[in-house]
Structure 1
Amino acid sequence: MKYQIVLLLLIVSFGGCGQRGTSNGNMQEEKPGTAVTLTHTAFGKIEKEIILSATTMYQNKSVVSAPIPAFITEVLVQPGSRVKAGDVLYRIESKEQHALGNGNHAVIPIKVERDGIVLDVQQQAGSYVTEGTVLCSVAEAGSLVFEINVPYEQQRYAHSGIKCMLELPDGTRLTATVHAPLVTMNMVSQSERVIARAKAPFLPEGMNVKAVFTENDSSSKGLILPKSAVQSDETLTKHWVMKLADNGTAVRVPIEVGNSNASEIEIKSDALSPQDRIILTGGYGLEDGAKVVVTKEEAAL
C-alpha cells in the first residue's frame, strides 16, 4: 500500500511538470508585437519642383596689371578683401631702382580704380613681373549674378521676371529673380544660360548652386504623408503604406503617389482617409497582418 501511494504521487508530479512545460512552450511561441509610431494624413498640396544647376559669377570685373617691368615689394590685399577706390593693392619697384638698392624711396603704388572685392591675388612679394603681368582681379560687389543652365525644353520655367529659389552648398536659400537670357548656348548639352539676381552676401566666383523653380499646378489639395511612412519596391513603381487595423495588426494598403519634397509626399489615390492611423516608423519589412505595439502617435490635423 505504501508503494502504491508513492507511485501515485510520482505520477501526479510528472503530470504537473508536463502541463507546466506545455504552458511554457505556448508562452514562448507567442511573439511580441513590433514597436511602431503612428501618423495621420493631412490635407495639402506640394508644388512640383524643377531643379537646375547654377554658378556664381561677377559681371563687372577689372584686371590689375603691372604697368612696367618691376619687382613686387609689398602685397596689401588677399582674396576676399573689400577695397575702395584709391586703395593701394601692391607696391612695386622698377628693376633699375631695385638694382640701385634705393629701398622704398622709389616704390610705385598700384591702386584700385573702383570699389569692389578682390577675387584672386596672383603675384607675391619678391616676385619679378614683366609689363602687363596680371597682379590680381577685382569684382564690383554689386555685380554678383547667378548663371543658370536651362535646357532648351525647360525654357518655360525660367523666363524673364519669374522668381526662383537658389540653394547654396551650406543649405542657405535665397530668393532670386530671373533676368534676360544670354545670347550663347552650350552646344553639347543644348542648354541656355540665364542670369538671375538675388540679395546675397559675398560669395566666391564659380560656386555651384541649385536653382529651384516651382511649376504652377491647378489641381486641388489632396492628402499628404511624411515620406518615411511610404514604402516602395526596388523599381519605385509600386508604393504602399502600413495602416493600423482595429485589432492591433498592420495592414498593407497600396497607394498612388504624386509630387514630393524633401520631407513629404502627395497621396493621389482614394485608399486613405484622414482618420486612418498610418505607421510612420517600424513598418519597414512588416508582413500584412503582423501584430504591432504603438509607442507614439502624432495628433491628427
Structure 2
Amino acid sequence: MRTKAIGILLASSFLLITACNNSEGNENQNNDQDSTLVVPVEAATVLKGDISAYYSNTATLEAEQEATVVAKVRGVIQEILVEEGHRVKAGQVLARIEGEQYRIEAERAKSTMDRLNNDYKRSKELYEKGAISVEEYDNKRFEYEAQRAAYELAKLNEEYTAIKSPIDGVISERFIKVGNMIGTDQDVFKVTDFDPLQAILYIPEHEMAKIDQGQPAELKADALPNQVFKGHVERISPIVDPTTGTFKVTVVIDEKNSKLKPGMFGRIKIVYDTHTATHMIPKVAVLSEDENQSVFVIKDSTAYRKIIKTGYVNGQNIEVIEGLEEGEIIVTTGQGSLKDSTKVNVVRS
C-alpha cells in the first residue's frame, strides 16, 4: 500500500514539471513572435517643391461694369431690338420710343430759330449803321440764342427716343415690352460686362499686413466643381471699417470663361507668401503630441520616430522646416500602431 502511494506521488510530480516546462516554452515562443512582429504601412518620399500660404474667404462674383439703362424721354415703346443674353456695344440702339411728336417739336423749334436768326442778322446790319440802339440789337441776339438752345434741346429729345447702351456688355435684364408707356428715368434694360468679373472680400484688419496689391489669387465656384480660376488682388481699401473691423479687397478674375457668371458663390484664396524648393510631405504623416510634431522614418525596414518642425500647409501637403531630408521615406498610414524601431512592411508608396 505504501509502495502504491509513492508511485502516485512520483507520477504527479512528473506531470507538474512537464506542464511548467511547456508553459515556459510557449511564453518564450510568444516573446520571439512579438520581437519579430512586422506592421504593414503606407509610405511616401520627402520631396522638394514650392508651397504657399494663403488667406481664404468667400464672396459673390460681381461684374466690374454694370449699367441700368433708363429712358431719357417719356413715351410709348415702339420697338425692342435686343433680348436678354444678347451682346451689345456701347452706343448700340436697344429699343425705340415713338418719336413723331418729338420730331415735330424739333422742326417747329428749328423754324422759329431760323426766323429769329434772320431778325438777328438784320438788326446787326442796322446796329452797325447806327439805325438801332444797342438794347434793341442785344434783344434780337438774346432771342435768337435762346431759341437755338430750345431747338438743340428738342433735337436731343428726338434723339433720346432711340434708347442706347452706355457700355459694351450683355443684356442681363429687360424691364419693358412693346406698347408700354414709360416715363423719364424709368429702368428699361440692365447691361452687364462680364469681362472682368470680380469678387469683393471684407478681410479682418489683423490680416492687412499680409495682403498686397497684385498678389495672385484663386477662385473655386460652387457651381463649377473641380475647376480653379486664376486672378489677382486689384484694389485694397486704405481704411478699416470701425463697425466690422474689416477692410475691403477687390479680387479680379483674370481667366475668361463663359461659365462664370455674376452672382455665383465663390471661394477665394489669396496667396500672400511662397517658399520655393522646400521640403514637403503629406500632412497625414504628421503626428502631434503636446507641442511636438513627429513622423516615422523608414530605414532598413524599420520605422524610427523623428521630431520635426513644420511650416506652411497647402492642400494635402505640409512644409517641413527642420528634421527631414529630401529622399527620406516616411510613414503616411499606419503610424498610429508604431513604436520607435518597429519593423514595418511598406505595402504602398
Superposition TM-score, scaled by structure 2 size: 0.55
Alpha-carbon separation, structure 2, partners of 1:121 and 1:72:
18
**Aligned partner letter, 1:268:** I
What is residue 77 of structure 1 aligned with on the other side? Answer: 83
Which of 95, 104, 121 is the aligned partner of 2:173?
121
What is residue 6 of structure 1 aligned with on the other side? Answer: none
Tell me the secondary structure at the aligned position of residue 175 of structure 2. Answer: coil
What is residue 265 of structure 1 aligned with on the other side? Answer: 318
Determine whether 1:173 maps to 2:229: yes
Determine whether 1:147 maps to 2:200: yes
Residues 142 and 296 of structure 1: is their aligned pair in 2 closer, same or farther, counting only changes over 3 Å? closer
**Aligned partner letter, 2:46:** T
Alpha-carbon separation, structure 1, partners of 2:78 and 2:282:
61
What is residue 200 of structure 1 aligned with on the other side? Answer: 255
Alpha-carbon separation, structure 1, partners of 2:39 and 2:98:
79
Tell me the secondary structure at the aligned position of residue 46 of structure 1. Answer: strand
What is residue 164 of structure 1 aligned with on the other side? Answer: 216
Deviation, structure 1 residue 165 = 1.8
Q: Is 1:159–1:178's contact at 8 Å kept on the other side of the alignment? A: no
Residues 224 and 56 of structure 1: is their aligned pair in 2 closer, same or farther, counting only changes over 3 Å? same
What is residue 39 of structure 1 aligned with on the other side? Answer: 44
Residues 35 and 89 of structure 1: is their aligned pair in 2 closer, same or farther, counting only changes over 3 Å? farther
**Aligned partner letter, 1:41:** V
Alpha-carbon separation, structure 1, partners of 2:345 and 2:176:
69
**Aligned partner letter, 1:153:** H
Q: Which runs of 5+ in 1 are unaligned?
A: 1-18, 95-107
Alpha-carbon separation, structure 2, partners of 1:183 and 1:69:
46
What is residue 102 of structure 1 aligned with on the other side? Answer: none
What is residue 277 of structure 1 aligned with on the other side? Answer: 329
Tell me the secondary structure at the aligned position of residue 337 of structure 2. Answer: coil
Determine whether 1:61 maps to 2:112: no
Alpha-carbon separation, structure 2, partners of 1:212 and 1:256:
25
Deviation, structure 1 residue 63 = 0.9
Tell me the secondary structure at the aligned position of residue 255 of structure 2. Answer: coil
Q: Which runs of 5+ in 2 are unaligned?
A: 1-21, 100-160
Larger helix proportion of the pair: 2
Superposition TM-score, scaled by structure 1 size: 0.62
**Aligned partner letter, 1:163:** Q
Alpha-carbon separation, structure 1, partners of 2:98 and 2:294:
75
Q: Is 1:158–1:178's contact at 8 Å kept on the other side of the alignment? A: no
What is residue 230 of structure 1 aligned with on the other side? Answer: 286
Alpha-carbon separation, structure 2, partners of 1:153 and 1:254:
31
Tell me the secondary structure at the aligned position of residue 60 of structure 1. Answer: strand
**Percent of counterpart pairs with the same letter?**
20
Q: Root-mean-square deviation (CA), in Å? A: 4.2
Deviation, structure 1 residue 253 = 3.1
**Aligned partner letter, 1:243:** V
What is residue 187 of structure 2 aligned with on the other side? Answer: 134
Q: Paired residues, what number? A: 250
What is residue 190 of structure 1 aligned with on the other side? Answer: 245
Residues 261 and 253 of structure 1: is their aligned pair in 2 closer, same or farther, counting only changes over 3 Å? same
Determine whether 1:214 maps to 2:219: no
Deviation, structure 1 residue 81 = 3.5
**Aligned partner letter, 2:346:** V
